[in-house]
Structure 1
Amino acid sequence: MSREKLAKEILELVGGEENVNSLVHCATRLRFGLKDQSKANKEKLLKTNGVITVKESGGQFQVVVGNSVPEVYAEIGKISNILHDSKKNDQPANDKKGNIFGKAVDVVSSLFAPLLGVMAGAGILKGLLLLASNFGWLANTSTTYTILYAAADALFYFLPVLLAITTARKFGGNVFVAVTIAGALLYPTIIALKATPPEGGVSFFGIPVTLMSYSSTVVPIILAIYVMSKLEAFLNRRIHESVKNFIIPFVLLVIMVPLTLIVFGPIGVSAGNAVAKAMVAAFAWNPILAGAIMGASWQLLVMFGIHWGLIPVFINNIAVNGQDGVKPAATASVFAQTGAAFGVMLKTKNKRLKTLAGSTVVTGLFGITEPAIYGVTLPLKKPFIAGIIGAAVGGGIIGFAGTKAFASGAPGLLTLPIFYGPGGEGFTGLIIGIVASFVISAGLTYVLGFEDPVDEQETETADHTSKTNEEILSPMEGTVVALSEVKDQVFASEAMGKGLAILPSVGRVVAPVDGIVSSLFNTRHAIGITSEDGAEILIHVGIDTVKLNGEYFTAHVQQGNRVKAGDLLLEFDMDKIKQAGFELITPVIITNSSDYQLVRVVKNGVVMEKESVLALQF
């Protein structure tokens, strides 16, 4: 049965969308919060192909579907509004541990990842229009050009609206309220107030409002929707069900739109102005160093929308002096991140990533780097750092050459003529700088490498026929007990597969085999490993620990990582989990144990016979 069909049948048999209050998932099961559990048809669910078993526990109606649970969960999200309306989701609680930069990268990447396809398409269209205009194939004053340019530029102009959607989904907020808040920032009367403020300035009940142009900005809307999501969750717990559907949106709009205009907008303005003043002063003091700083930092500024504070400086310099010496170094950054994406394309063995990286190289050369950054270099981390290093070198060369910009335009291959002035002074240095930034970034990316994601197809088509004896080691220190002693009927009944359970003595989970991390849930309480010979191993730390939402768990790997036996996978705080009232007994399941002809308990663990022997050594 297809996952789409399975999702439809499960949703129908739990009583339909109208009977669902909330839905989350853990490592193996869909956990429904139902309005009326009597409406769920448990008998038919148990007979449904793809459903392993059904369990009612802790007020939840749990449908066990095994390793395909993330895909079935996603399909339910496609055919219903449950995942958008539910205030409980599978996002973990804020982890107080771990690398702050890494967590920030993960958040930023997840917000932009859904936009990558349309970003790439818009970037290509924008580049083709620039090419057509520069070569005289299509006049930029024609209505045809205007219509096509609107199609190419709309994504970037209305970026706050699109980010409102992805941010609301990320943090569990109401998507429609989020879009309305973003729309208010781009509302014609707000734009008119910015262009021609009334005498005495703009205020809100006497509070001064500093207006800015919000089109293409990033920081204000992300901050606004994050705060909105937290406020919405607070209100949901305190406002009665009968009125919350219209009272909560009303309160959110009344609070968040003014708050964004008064607080979050000025944060972006102030940060941008501070950066602009610092960069102008730096170029006056040491153009080589300033060029390197500009090159290295430009894409970081673009990521957070702070670069808009520098653009008025560029425009003003050109308007007053006929030229600008600050902007050219930013071009190195564009070509550096493009070069890093090119290095990824050359090195990766992942077909999907290779295709994505190749398309972002094309858009990057046109000056549209968002697809390359958010889709390729930033999620992989090392290529992004390689791009910063290459940009610093290229920016330093351009600063040394004294290159000037003589017109406005986004840095890119087709806008290089704006840097060619009388006598071509500094233009040669610009070409050397961007070539150096591209080559260095691509080379560093290739040499330093990155954690290459595993092709989904590779995982799905792994050879599941053991040709040699395989030893599976214990994933944790502790006491081995029979699976039947686990106080969860799904595991104890071996519905998920055969295996053992461990009472851990140390809060660490290590890889029991050489293989691939085939699943790692956001709550970090469970992890799946597929061995090189095809054994599918699920390690589920504790019982019902999904309810901790990741609290007290730390992951040291990501889904798709290759691991060696003994590598650290997870750490967990045993004392705090026990204090929270959860049992730590940990089922270790071979979820594809049905592939084996015989499973029998032996002294050191379990022996599973297929074409050869698979032994779990504890």
Structure 2
Amino acid sequence: MKFKKMADEIIKEIGGEENIKFVSHCVTRLRFVLKDESKADDASVENIQGVKGVMKQGGQYQVIIGGDVSTVFQALPDSIRNISGGEEEPDNSSKQKGLKGYLSSIFDYVSGSLVAALPAIIASGMVKLVAVILVLAGLENTATHEVLNIIGDTGFYFLPVIIAYTAARKLNTDVVLAIVVSGILIHPLLIEAMAGDGLAFLGIPIYSASYANAVVPPLFAVWVLKLVLKFVEKITPGWTKAIFKPLLAVIITIPIVLIVFAPLGAIIGEGLSSLAVITSEYVPWLTKAILSAFMPLIIMTGMHHALNPIAFSSHAAFGFDSFLMPMMLANNFAMGAACFAVGIKSKSKNLKSIAWTSGISASIAGITEPGLFGVLIRLKRPLVAGMIGSGVAGIFVGILNVKSFAFAGPGVVSMIQFISPEGAANLINAIIVAVIASIVAFVMVFVLGFKDLTNNTKATTNSNSPTQTDEVLSPLGGKVISLEEVKDATFARKLLGDGLAVIPSDGKVYSPVNGKVQVMFKTGHAIGLLSEKGDEILIHVGLDTVKLEGEGFSPIVSDGDQVKVGDLLLEFDIPYIQSQGYDMTTPIVVTNQTETSKRISSLLKTNEEVEKLQPIIKIES
């Protein structure tokens, strides 16, 4: 029941079911694509019991939960879990413009495809480790050992097909054709011809390479297929599509892949493998110390998935990874130890609970996001302590040349991934790294200290203190209406908080309080303010105006700016916005009313005209 309650509360605080375009989950996070992110109340979501934090990235609204994420996902109503009709996550990267948008799109494609393939990689790697253990036990010449080796090799050998499937799901293109155009890379006759005199197509020679275990070529192949399918869709008449669309897609895509993109992918893969070798041969202690120290920040941005191809390519080429997983070993144990230290030092029961469970998640299961987002980022100094511990341990990762022989988040339960066929030395070195990371991070938390949280960090009032009354001025002139009259269920049902709305007569928004700009949305359609009295005020200009992507809005201030009553915050073009079909009703909401037990009341009547900077809302606490 608690997971159903958590799921229902999350849906409510992110704007309701009608605000959800898509939802999926990874190992630790629910990943939503929302119609309007401004309708999500970050603070309320983070205050839900069991939620470790919130992150917005690549068009996703990510709710960090931890190991229970799949249970919470299953607790979501069927209408939400099936909202995408079984398709993969919509691609929002096209909304970003310029080089940054293209790079974000590429990263999202690569990381999303590889993360989805991880179960096969992890399973195959761990099976091969079991086979290694049998060798160390002197049981290598048995039928059981041979079968285990075959099982372990299967996931790696057919990696092009596995990635073709996950990449096709990510790009929302034809999965079966993707498997065909990538499956040819490991066709026995192709492999035989590559090893012999080579091949040519229409007189064009085909570069000879081995694509078993390949990571990058199938990513290229599926991308080319998607482009070709779009082209074929345009040139084939409707009545011929069933036959000619798959025929043309395959006969056009495969030669292009074999002649151009598969060789390019192979070269890139070899380059990534070489990069892993270089980092192990030239000043490895410095390189890995720096990367290990900054790994928490890399994980925060999701960029650690961009390092997966290096690890995959290294496994394919050498049978081990001396780059990513050893550094993750240092990071995971450092983050876990920092969380344990916070759990011991903190006086907050809630923080203690989160810190201890997050420490177990990181150190035992190798999952650091709950601790990173739920504990360390919030407290800041413990995050620095963890980074120091990870960096110091990273020095020994490089000096001892620690290698991982499987692909799994390093933790106590997965330490066997550091067992080497050559003996116990590598496992011992890995244990040394884990111990150093844990001790240094744990001690540094006590050395650096941190500002503890109270048992209710949201509360800002004392029940025994006298009632205080604050006034919020109107940020713009116009006609006042009640929130219940707003033609948007999120505001009308007061899911984000209480307040009122104004139909503006002038395209300027002024600061209604003294305080700070918590968030100026990039699209300019909404502003979040934190007053000196602790009131969190959302001004949402128009309904669904986020879809204009900033057109018609001219922000004056930025995130973090200090503002005073009457400062100009934003200008907007009423005629243009209305010409695009949008309602200009502007809700003004106090979003932290519930958490701080504040009582909200309007100072004006419905349909009454209000001047800018006229008192409009009374807040009693």
TM-score (norm: length of structure 1): 0.54
Asked if residue 305 in structure 1 is aligned to residue 302 in structure 2, the reply is no
The match for 1:76 among 47, 72, 79 is: 79
Q: Deviations over 1:278-301 (max 9, x none)?
A: 776787xxx561454367679979
SS of the equivalent of 1:588 reads strand
Q: Deviations over 1:110-142 (max 9, x none)?
A: 5566677x5798489649836863674986844
Superposed, 1:72-151 pairs within 5 Å as 75-76=78-79, 78-79=81-82, 82=85, 84=87, 93-96=95-98, 118=119, 122=123, 126=127, 129=130, 133=134, 136=137, 141-143=142-144, 146=147, 150=151
CA distance in structure 1 between the partners assigned to 2:513 and 2:205 by the alignment: 56
Match of 2:395 in 1: 393
Cα deviations by residue, 1:458-511 (Å, 9 ceiling, x for unpaired): 99xx88999586888979x9524335499x960599734442346664799999
Shift of 1:607: 2.8
Matches within 5 A, 1:336-485: 336-343=330-337, 346=340, 349=351, 358=360, 361-362=363-364, 389-390=391-392, 392-398=394-400, 413=416, 415-418=418-421, 435-436=435-436, 479-484=476-481
- Residue 181 (structure 1) aligns with: 178
1:490 maps to 487
Which residue does the alignment assign to 1:265?
262
Partner of 1:194: 191
Deviation at 1:545, TM superposition (A): 2.5
Deviations along 1:189-223, one digit per CA (max 9) or x if unpaired, are 53552355264423444444446555665444445
**Aligned letter for 2:618?**
V
Distance 1:549 1:110, change over 3 A: farther
Establish whether residue 26 from structure 1 lines up as the match of residue 1 from structure 2. Answer: no
Question: Does the CA-based 8 Å contact 2:213-2:316 persist in structure 1?
Answer: no
Amino acid corresponding to residue 335 of structure 1 in structure 2: L
Range with greater deviation from structure 2 (181-190 or 354-363): 354-363
Among 583, 599, 602, the alignment partner of 1:600 is 602
Identity %: 21
RMSD over equivalenced CA pairs, Å: 7.0
1:138-176 Cα shifts (integer Å, max 9, x gaps): 8684448836983x77666666556556555555x23xx
Report how far residue 94 of structure 1 moved. Answer: 1.8
Counterpart CA distance in 1 for 2:257 and 2:449 is 41
Structure 2 unaligned runs (5+)? 19-32, 40-72, 296-303, 344-350, 378-382, 605-613
1:356-395 deviation digits (Å, cap 9, x = unpaired): 774564466xxxxxx66x9987999979977874564124
Per-residue deviation, residues 559-612 of structure 1 (Å, max 9, x unmatched): xxxx99979xxx99967998786567643345899999874235412236xxxx
Alignment match, 2:500: 499
SS in 2 for 1:84: coil
- Over 3 Å counting, the alpha-carbon distance change for 1:167 and 1:137 in structure 2 is same
Look up the SS of the partner of 1:479 in the other structure.
coil
Deviates more, 1:107-116 or 1:190-199: 107-116
Residues 119, 155 of structure 1: 8 Å contact kept: yes
Matched to 1:146, the amino acid is V
**CA separation of 1:295 and 1:339: change in aligned 2, threshold 3 A:** same
Determine which of 277, 287, 298 is the counterpart of 1:293. Answer: 287
Contact 1:295/1:391 (<8 A) preserved: yes
Distance in 1 separating the partners of 2:336 and 2:490: 51
Do 1:191 and 1:213's aligned partners in 2 also have CA atoms closer than 8 Å? no
Residues 267, 447 of structure 1: CA spacing in aligned structure 2 closer, same or farther, 3 A cutoff?
farther
Relative to structure 1, the CA distance from residue 143 to residue 533 in structure 2 (aligned partners, 3 Å threshold; closer, same or farther) is: farther
What residue identity is the alignment partner of 1:604? P
| One-letter amino acid of the counterpart of residue 394, structure 1 | F
How many Å apart are 1:343 and its aligned residue? 4.4
The 8 Å contact of residues 474 and 512 in structure 1, kept in 2 or not, is answered as no
Question: How far is 1:336 from its partner?
Answer: 1.9
| C-alpha displacement of 1:93 | 0.8
How big is the shift at 1:270? 2.0
Contact 2:129 2:416 survives alignment (8 Å): no
Q: 1:254 to 1:495 in 2, by over 3 A?
A: farther
Amino acid in structure 2 at the alignment position of 1:76:
S
Task: Rate the CA distance shift 1:358–1:131 in 2: closer, same or farther, 3 A.
Answer: farther
Structure 2 CA distance for aligned equivalents of residues 587 and 206 of structure 1: 67
Q: Per the alignment, do residues 597 and 509 of structure 1 end up closer, same or farther by CA in structure 2, a change over 3 Å counting? A: closer
Q: How far does the alpha carbon of each residue in 1:320-343 deviate from its partner, in whole angstroms, 9 at most, with x for none?
A: xxxxxx976777435324334534
Distance 1:120 1:161 in 2: 13
- Superposed CA offset, 1:397-448 (max 9, x none): 236xxx9x9x988896564454559xx8x99878756654665678789999
> Which amino acid in 2 is paired with 1:336?
A
